[in-house]
Structures are given as structure tokens and as C-alpha cells.
Amino acid sequence: MLNFLKILATPEFFFSIIRISAPIIFATLAAIVVEKAGFANIGLEGLMMFSALSGSLVSYYAGSWFWGFLAALATGVLMSLVMGFFAFRLKTDIILVGIAINMMGSGGTLFLCKVITNLTEGKAMASTTGLITKSLCIPDIKIPLIDKIPFLGAVLSGHNLLTYLAFLFCLLTSIMLYKTSLGLNIRSVGENPDAASSVGVSVQKIKYIAMAFSGLMSGFGGAFMSMAYAQGWSQDMVSGRGFIALAAQAMGGGECLGGMLSAVVFGFAQALGIKFSAVGLDSNLASPIPYAVTIIGLVVFAVVRNNRVKKQHSAAALMKTAGKQEA
């Protein structure tokens, strides 16, 4: 047990927590913004799969990670707009749209991968891991001064570009939601679309923007999965991160900071699972840990929230009776 704790107290372990949290943070931010606009996008999983595939393929064919990265973002945004079209224009239940995208994201990406590699390479490939080399991945960044600090340097420096962006985006998204007129519009559409529309806000447009934002974030997440976390795309590689993000959004109370912390908790659970299997536990016993933590986290969050609401109610009731007695 003590030995095991020793393994955990290494900078590598903390480094891996941050690394594993990054894609969950992107997806959580996506979930937070659409939730603020008053709906749920459960298609994040599928969006990330499509972005991951297009990112790795384009970076291979263009020979540069940058174009692949842009392609991943564009794929995420375009597909989210298609989702928006079905949800807002054709009035499909947004949850069903999400399910459909997830279905296509699982097998459909494999279909596209086989077809595209077959057209250009001559033989169908079931993953792009053979195509992507280290130079086609999004680069890691060493932070000049910080990497000299003994323990902290090894934890904080040397991460992927996108990992830093993930944490930066938490701040930026928070600013966007609370300090800009766009954020105000998004929140007002989510809270009361009729009131928002009565003061001249186009509800449809704002919903599309929120949807596109979630697509953009999924694009970042997908690019991270296939061009930083792993080298290349393989089937079902997102493995539930899009769903975990929905839980992180709920656990974080729908706010960016809380969502980020929840995402890090899941990152911790996953890193712990990986360490478990490193010391000889069956990986099938370690793999479900993040999913179990998600359920436990949701329950804890719900209990805390319910208690708070109850307290508020009883406080309000006390105030009322106190006020009456004074009068």
C-alpha cells in the first residue's frame, strides 16, 4: 500500500492527470455552454470521433499537423451545425439527434476511414495509427522558467499545446458567458427564450451559435485524442469521454470552474486506473473506475444540491414566520 502511494506521489502521475483531463475539459465546456443556452448536446461523443478522424487523416495527407488540427475544428463545427439544423429547424428531439450522431460516430467513422484510406492508399485500414508519426502530432510545449522548478516543473511543463489551451479556455469561456453580450444572450435564451426574443434577441441564432461552440470544443477534444493523446485514430477511441463530460457539467453545477474541477476528478480516476493496471491489477477492473466515479459524483452532487435547496427553503420559511411575529 505504501509502495503504491509512493508511485502516486511522483510528478509523472500528476502530469498524467492533467494530460488525461484535457479532452474531458474541452467536452465539458461544450456541455456547459449548450446547457446555458437551454438544451443538452449528448452527441459530443460522436462529434469528437468525427473530428479525431478528420484531424488525423488531413494531417497525414497535408503532411502538417496544423491543417489536420484546423480540419478537426471545422469538422466539429460543421457537424454540430447539421445537428442544429435537425434540432431547431426540423424540430427533432435534441437528445435523439445526439444519439444519431453517436451511432454514426461509432461505426460510420470506421466506414469513412476504410473508404478514404482505400481510395488513396490502396488498402482499407481500420485505424490511422500507422499513418500518424510524432511530427504529425500537435507539438508539446516546454515552458521556459517553470520547467526548472523541481517537482512542479515536471508536472506543469512539457504538456501538449492543446492541454494548455483546455485550461485557458475554461477562463475564456467563463469570461464569454459572464462578461460579453453574447454570453448574456446565451444565458437569457436558456433561462427564458420568450423574454429574450421579446427584447430582440434571435433565439434561433443564439442556439446555433451555442451549438457551433460545442462543435468547436469537440473539435479541440477530437484533435487532442487522435493527434496528441494517441498517435492516430482508432475505433471508439473517445470511449465515453463525451458522456463523462455531461456528468462533469452537472457535477460542476453548470459553471466553468466547477466543470473543470470535475473533469480533473475524472482525469484523476482514469490516471489511477492506469496506475492500478501498472501494478498488476487486471485492467478490466481498473477501466470502469472513471465511469463508476461519474455515477458516484453525480449522486454526491445531487445530494448536496438538494440539501442546499432544502436549507434555502427552510431559511426562507423561518424569515417569513419571523417577519410575521415582528409585525
Partner 1 sequence: MTKKRQLRFTIIRSLVAILIALLVATILIFISSAGATFAEKLDATREALKQMLAGPVFRFSKKNGTAFEAKRLADILAAMIPTTFTGLSVCIMFSANQFNLGAEGGIMLGAFVSAMAAIYLPLPAWLHPVAAVLLGGIAVAVTMLLPALLKTKLNVSEMVCSLMLNYIIMYVIKFLMNTYLADKTRGQIMSYPFKETSAIAPIVDNAVFSGAKLSWGFVIAIVAVILCGLFMYRSRWGYAIRMIGINQDFAKYSGMKVGMIIVLSQVLGGFLAGAGGGIEMLGRYTSFSWSALPGYGWTGITIAILAGNNPYMVPFAAFFMAYLSKGCDLMATYAKVPAQLIDIVQGVIFLFFAAEQFLSGYRQKLVVKSAEEEIKLAKARKEGVTNA
Nearer to partner 1, 114 or 154 (CB): 114
- 123 vs 324, beta carbon nearer partner 1: 123
Q: Is 160 helix (H, G, I), strand (E, B) or coil?
A: strand
Burial class (CB in 10 A: 0-12, 13-18, 19+), 188: buried
Cell numbers for 147, please give them.
520547467
Q: Which is nearer to partner 1, 30 or 250 (CB)?
A: 250
Cβ atoms of 276 and 285 closer than 8 Å: yes
**d(C-alpha 327, C-alpha 321), whole Å:** 10
Is the CB of residue 167 less than 8 Å from the CB of residue 253?
A: no
Q: How far is the CB of 31 from partner 1 (least distance, A)?
A: 10
Nearest alpha carbon to residue 23 among 182, 165, 154, 132: 165
Smallest distance from partner 1 to CB 203, Å = 16
* Residue 120 CB, nearest approach to partner 1 (Å): 12
From CA 181, how far away is CA 191, in angstroms rounded? 15
Minimum distance of partner 1 from residue 299's CB (angstroms): 6
Minimum CB distance to partner 1 smaller for 10 or for 287: 287
Q: How far is the CB of 249 from partner 1 (least distance, A)?
A: 9
Using CA atoms, how far apart are residues 241 and 26, in angstroms rounded to an integer? 10
> Which residues sit at the interface with partner 1, rule CB under 8 A?
42, 86, 89-93, 95-97, 99-101, 103-104, 106-108, 110-111, 114-115, 118-119, 124, 239-240, 243-244, 246-247, 250, 282, 284-285, 287-288, 291-292, 294-295, 298-299, 302-303, 306
Give 184's DSSP letter.
H
- Look at residues 52, 117, 106 and name the one whose alpha carbon lies nearest to residue 236: 106
Nearer to partner 1, 278 or 295 (CB): 295
Closest distance of CB 169 from partner 1, Å: 22
| Residue 147 Cβ vs partner 1, minimum distance, rounded to whole Å | 36
* Residue (179 or 313) nearer to partner 1, CB: 313
Residue 295 C-alpha cell reads as 455515477
Of the two residues 152 and 295, which places its CB atom closer to partner 1 in the complex? 295
Residue 67 and residue 72: Cα distance in Å, rounded?
Answer: 9
Q: Which residues pair with 234 in a beta bridge?
A: 127
State the Cα–Cα distance between residues 222 and 227, nearest whole angstrom.
8
> Which of 62, 67, 28, 64 has the alpha carbon at shortest distance from 48?
28
